[in-house]
Amino acid sequence: MKFGTIGTGWITDAFIDAAKSSENFMHTAVYSRTTDKANKFADKHSVRNVFTDIEQMAKSSEIDCVYIASPNSMHAEHAITFLKQKKHVICEKPIFSNVKEWEEAHQVAEENGVYLFEAMRNIHSPNFTSLKDNLGKIGNVRSMSLHLIQYSSRYDKYLQGENPNIFSAEFSGGAIVDLGVYPLSVAVALFGQPEDVSYFPVKLKSGVDGNGTLVLTYPDFTCTILCSKISNSYNACEIQGEQGTLIFDDAGEINNPRLFKTPSKEQVTLETVNKDNNMVFEIDQFNRIIETGDDHKYQELKNISYNVLSITEEARRQTGIVFASEK
Ligand SMILES: NC(=O)c1ccc[n+]([C@@H]2O[C@H](COP(=O)([O-])OP(=O)(O)OC[C@H]3O[C@@H](n4cnc5c(N)ncnc54)[C@H](OP(=O)(O)O)[C@@H]3O)[C@@H](O)[C@H]2O)c1
C-alpha cells in the first residue's frame, strides 16, 4: 500500500514512523502548501514525490491511500478529493466537522469502492481490547468517569493574542472535538449510542470550548466525560460496576488497565501490549480491513465514528458552538 501524507506537523511524523512497522505500508508522497516545506518534509522522510497541489496528488499513481492530518475544518474537502480518485483515506480525528460532511464523504467512498477510516488510535489498541474483554467481570455498570485533560502549549499562544487553529471556530477546533473524542470513542465503542447527551462547556472568546463536561445517559448508568485544553489532570479513568471497577490511565492511550474486585478490593493487572507509538495498532487494523475486505469490522468502525461525531455535534448545538463552515 503506497501512501501519501497531508500535513507536516508532529502527528504526521508519528504516523509515518508507525507505518514503518507495517511491511505493507510504504510512504511515497508528501503534500504541503509550500514547496519549501514540502521538500524539507520529503527529504526528512526520504520520499521522492512532492506535491503542493492536492488535486494532482489525488490523481497520482504513486499513492493508493492518503493519511490526512490537516486542520479539522479541511478534512472533508481533502478526504473527498482523494476518495473521488479511488484512494483509500485515513483521516485524523475528529474525522469531520459535522455529520453532513461525514455522510457526504462516506457516500463518495462507497461510490468509488474505497475505504474511509478515522484515525482514532485508542480503540484499536490491545489495551482497549483487554478492557473490553474484562467488562463482564465488573457486573452491571453503574457509573463511568473518563477524561482527557491536557494543557495545550498552543493555549499560551492563544492567551498572547494569537488564534491557533485548534482554538479557532474557523478551523473547527475546541476541547470536545480535539480531546473529548478520545474518551467519547471509548464510551461509544463499549456501550454504543447513549439515550441522552448534555454538554457543559467553558467557552473561550474565540467561540469554541476550552474545556467541558459531557454527560452521556445510558439506560442503567451515566458516563461523565471531562475534556480540557486549558488545565491538567492527574486522575485515572474509571468504569464502575457492581462487582468491580476497571481503571486505566490516559484515555488517548489506555495505559495501565487494571481491575479492582468488589467487595474484596483485590487488584488484578490486565494484560497489556504497550508500544511507544500506539498508531501502529490502527495501521494494522486499517491494513487488515483493506486486505481482507472485513466489512463487519469496517461497519463497526463507521458506526463508532458516526455516533461520536453526532454526539459532539449535538453538544455543540446545545451550547452554541458553531464552526465557521456552518454559519
Ligand atoms: N491522533 C493523534 O494523536 C493526534 C495528535 C495531534 C493532532 N491530531 C490531528 O491531526 C490533525 C492535524 O493536527 P495539527 O495540530 O498538526 O494541526 P495544524 O498544526 O493546525 O495543521 C496541520 C497541517 O495543516 C497545514 N496547515 C496549517 N494551517 C493551515 C491553514 N491555515 N490552512 C491550510 N493548511 C494549514 C500545515 O501543513 P503545511 O503547512 O505543510 O501545508 C500543518 O502541518 C488534526 O485533525 C488533529 O486533530 C491527531
Q: How far is the CA of 271 from the centre of ligand 1 (A)?
A: 34
Does ligand 1 lie within 6 Å of residue 92's CB atom?
yes
| Helices 99-112/295-319 angle, 10° precision | 160
Return d(Cα 204, Cα 190) in angstroms, integer: 31
Atom of ligand 1 nearest to the CA of 120: 1
Residue 22 has a pLDDT of 87
Residue 247 has a pLDDT of 98
Atom of ligand 1 nearest to the CA of 166: 20
Q: How far is the CA of 71 from the centre of ligand 1 (A)?
A: 4
Q: How far is the CA of 34 from the centre of ligand 1 (A)?
A: 14
Nearest CA to ligand 1 atom 11: 69
DSSP states of 248-302 as a string? EE-TTTTEEEEEEETTT--EEEPP----SSTHHHHHHHHHHHHHHT-HHHHHHHH
Nearest CA to ligand 1 atom 5: 11
Residue 69 has a pLDDT of 98
Half-sphere exposure of 137 (CA within 13 A, CB side): 19
For the chain, residues with pLDDT lower than 70 are: none
Chain mean pLDDT for the chain:
97
Nearest CA to ligand 1 atom 28: 71
Closest by CA position to 11, among listed 89, 97, 119: 119
User: In sequence order, which residues have a C-beta less than 8 Å from that of residue 137 and are 6 or more positions away?
Assistant: 243, 244, 259, 261
The set of cell numbers assigned to 237 is: 479513568
Residue 276 has a pLDDT of 85
Indicate the top mutation candidate among 70, 78, 121, 229 to test ligand 1's pocket, ranked by most ligand atoms within 8 A of CB: 70
Does ligand 1 lie within 6 Å of residue 177's CB atom?
no
Whether residue 206 contacts residue 127, with contact meaning beta carbons closer than 8 Å, is answered with no
Q: Which helix (H) or strand (E) holds 139?
A: none
Closest by CA position to 133, among listed 236, 257, 243, 235: 257
Q: How far is the CA of 123 from the centre of ligand 1 (A)?
A: 21
* Domains contained in the chain, CATH given: 2-116 (3.40.50.720), 123-326 (3.30.360.10)
Q: How far is the CA of 20 from the centre of ligand 1 (A)?
A: 21
Using one digit for the tens of pLDDT, what is the confidence trace for 173-182?
999 999 999 9
